[in-house]
Amino acid sequence: MSAKPTYEELEQRVRELEQNVADHEKAETSLKANQHVLRTAIENLPFDFFAIDGNGRYFLQNSVCVARWGNLIGLRPREAPLDDGVINTWRVNNRRAFSGEIVRDEVEYSHGGENRCYYNIISPIHDGQRIIGVLGINLDITDQKKMERELQESRQRYQALVETTSDWIWEVDEELIYTYCSPKVMEILGYLPEQVLGKQPFDFMPEGEADRVAGLLRNVIKKREAFAGLENVNRHKAGHDIVLETSGVPVFDEGGKFCGYRGIDRDITKRKRAESNLEKLNAELERRIEERTVVLLETNRQLQAEIDERNLVEDELKVKTKDLEELNSALKVLLKKRDEDKLELEEKIVGNMKELILPYLQKIKDANLGKREKTYLEIVEANLDAIISPFVRYLSSRFIKLTPTEIQVANLIKLGKTSKEIGTLNNLSFKTIEFHRDNIRAKLGIKNKKINLRTHLLSLDYQPSFSTEP
């Protein structure tokens, strides 16, 4: 039989029990505090948080999850008042988690009249070797996916712009080494993009040009400034020079560190060649203007001399005009005598024509001639009549500006010939005859008047043989 504990031993045991009770109460208090912290943390998560027990029933939901899917505590997923597509996805993912898999998937749910994307994580809850439930979260990544799509579309638009623009787009690092080069460099310099990457812009310039451009860019790069319209010469792969217009802006990372430059090169070779040609043309034009100015000044001097000389001549002419007026009076007397002599000569010509030519023409006319020859004979006969006719004398004196061809056409019109017939007889086109007809009407003063040209010409037969009108 064991000995009874002493008072001291009992007292020691009491103290140990009291300490155990205090430690238990402290642990319980700490556990409650930790539970409160955990519950507060779960409640303040900005995404869905849920837990399902071993029987497949929800036993934990944070406020975000309740607001989005409703209160599911005590329910199984298939009992939730949700879309069948959502429930089926949940059940499949939960089975995977209860089998020990940590499920990580992007899913799209149709809920509340809209489709939204979520990143779904479901993990099994282990108790030793047993799985007694699952924990899960749903991160709403709809806006993120939208931004990704927009970013991808923006990149595609940027890439399309880069590949279709006529300019060469490039990027260089802080050492001015190409890190990106658009395909347009092949068209401009003859190099593939991969043949340019890893090199500096100066590697494609003639030696002297490289030094010049490096000097221009030194302070710009040091100050991390943008630059534009920098003209520089590059050597094409085929060996000829290409003039580029370069513009660039500095690139910095999120921390503000300088990363290099991004910019474009534009081929302005043709423009520079045109500018050079224009400068040469301007210089040539200025030279010619100077030469022409000298010539004009000399011409002006000569004209002034001529004016002075003409003024002297005019003075002399005034003197001679008086003498001519007196001479004119004498000439009028002589002209009157000449007209009388001319009338006598015409009468002799008419008599000779009738006695010496017209009889023979009649004999030819009576001969066996073809139609064309007869037409020519009629024209000859008509023209001979015209020579002695007051019509021709009146026409020749009053309208002296008629050309021989116009007189011939007028005579045929008077005989009743059409423009087509006149053209055939004279080997001229219809338009040419019409042109002569217009000229005749203009010179006779009946253009744009409703007067028949043949009738007017016939009326001239009755005009006097000589006219004193100017």
Q: Which of 219, 244, 267 is the last residue of a domain?
A: 267
- Is the residue at 8 inside a domain? no
Which one, of 166, 113, 135, lies nearest residue 48 by Cα? 135
Residue 172's pLDDT is what?
Answer: 96
- Is the residue at 3 inside a domain? no
Higher pLDDT, 319 or 211: 211
Q: Assess whether pLDDT exceeds 80 at residue 31.
A: no
Residue 10's pLDDT is what?
Answer: 74
Condensed to tens digits (0 to 9), the pLDDT of residues 186-212 reads: 999 999 999 999 999 999 999 899 999
Structural domain count of the chain: 4
374 in the same domain as 349:
no
- Is the residue at 19 inside a domain? no
Q: Which of 353, 378, 405 is the last residue of a domain?
A: 353
Tell me how far apart the alpha carbons of residues 157 and 166 are, in angstroms, rounded to a whole number.
16
Condensed to tens digits (0 to 9), the pLDDT of residues 330-373 reads: 888 888 877 777 766 766 676 566 656 766 677 777 777 778 78
Residue 395's pLDDT is what?
Answer: 47
Tell me how far apart the alpha carbons of residues 124 and 138 are, in angstroms, rounded to a whole number.
15
- Is the residue at 359 inside a domain? no
- Helices and strands, counts by H and E, the chain: 15, 10
261 in the same domain as 284:
no
Beta-ladder partners of 137: 49, 121
Are the beta carbons of 204 and 243 closer than 8 angstroms?
no
Reported as a pLDDT band with limits 50, 70 and 90, residue 224 is very high
416 in the same domain as 386:
yes
- Residue 263, domain CATH: 3.30.450.20
Q: Assess whether pLDDT exceeds 70 at residue 95.
A: yes
- Is the residue at 423 inside a domain? yes
Place of tokens 């009649």: 362
- Residue 401, domain CATH: 1.10.10.10
Check the CA dihedral 5-10-11-15 and report its sign: positive
203 in the same domain as 284:
no
441 in the same domain as 411:
yes
291 in the same domain as 235:
no
Q: Assess whether pLDDT exceeds 70 at residue 328.
A: yes
Q: Which of 31-40, 164-173, 429-438 has the highest mean pLDDT?
A: 429-438
Angle in degrees, 0-180, between the axes of helices 371-387 and 358-366, rounded to the nearest 10 = 160
- Is the residue at 453 inside a domain? yes
Tell me how far apart the alpha carbons of residues 181 and 185 are, in angstroms, rounded to a whole number.
7
122 in the same domain as 172:
no
212 in the same domain as 129:
no
3-state helix, strand and coil shares in percent for the chain, rounded to the nearest 5: 60, 20, 20
| Secondary structure of residue 414 in the 3-state scheme | helix
Higher pLDDT, 397 or 263: 263
Residue 350's pLDDT is what?
Answer: 64
Residue 155's pLDDT is what?
Answer: 72
Predicted model pTM: 0.39
421 in the same domain as 379:
yes
Full domain range(s) for residue 58 = 45-147
377 in the same domain as 410:
yes
Q: What are the residues whose beta carbons fall under 8 Å from the beta carbon of 231, sequence distance 6 or more?
A: 243, 244, 245, 246, 268, 272
Tell me how far apart the alpha carbons of residues 310 and 301 are, in angstroms, rounded to a whole number.
14
Tell me how far apart the alpha carbons of residues 336 and 369 are, in angstroms, rounded to a whole number.
47
Q: Assess whether pLDDT exceeds 80 at residue 129.
A: yes
Are the beta carbons of 122 and 93 closer than 8 angstroms?
yes
